Amino acid sequence: MEHEIMNTRKPRATCDFMIIFTVAVGVIGIALLFLPDFDLLSIVLSCAALGGLIGLKASYEERDRQRLQQSFKGAFEWLLLVLLAAFAFIASEEWFGFGEGTVIFINGHWPSLILSIMCVLLGIAGFQKEIGEGSA
């Protein structure tokens, strides 16, 4: 009986839970940008989710740590692609004159958008690594 009490630990967040949580926070962060004066909340939530996912890395199993480390590269590559697409859209709006409201939205909310999109992309990249390992 005494042995069981000593081995009980507080449950820690698993890597899979944190990946799901990070994707959900990213989607919620993007949705919050459509509400007036919710930019700061979106930034705080996104930073907390990214910090939790990365900061708890020491408590994950070795396989999960490696999977998370490998997903960083893919997430940053996709973030660069999204940023280049947004820049191309903004440049084409200046030439062709369409999507002015969208460009104003992107220019007004870019820090929150980058963090929220990073949450979504890092979570998706983590899921892809898990699916790739499971099927191999």
**Cα separation values, 130 from 15, 40, 70, 114, Å:** 11, 32, 11, 24
Do the domain assignments include residue 37? yes
Listing DSSP states for 35-68 in one string gives: STT-HHHHHHHHHHHHHHHHHGGGGS-HHHHHHH
Do the domain assignments include residue 53? yes
Q: What is the pLDDT of residues 53-77, one digit of tens each?
A: 888 877 788 888 888 888 888 889 9
Distance between CA atoms of residues 28 and 33, nearest Å:
9
Predicted local confidence at residue 6, as pLDDT: 53
Do the domain assignments include residue 85? yes
Q: How confident is the model at residue 28 (pLDDT cuts 50, 70, 90)?
A: very high
Predicted local confidence at residue 133, as pLDDT: 61
Domain count of the chain? Answer: 1
Do the domain assignments include residue 5? no
Q: What is the pLDDT of residues 86-132, one digit of tens each?
A: 999 988 988 887 888 888 898 899 999 999 999 999 989 887 766 66
Do the domain assignments include residue 7? no
- Residue 2 predicted with pLDDT over 60: no
**Domain limits at 35?**
14-135
Predicted local confidence at residue 130, as pLDDT: 61
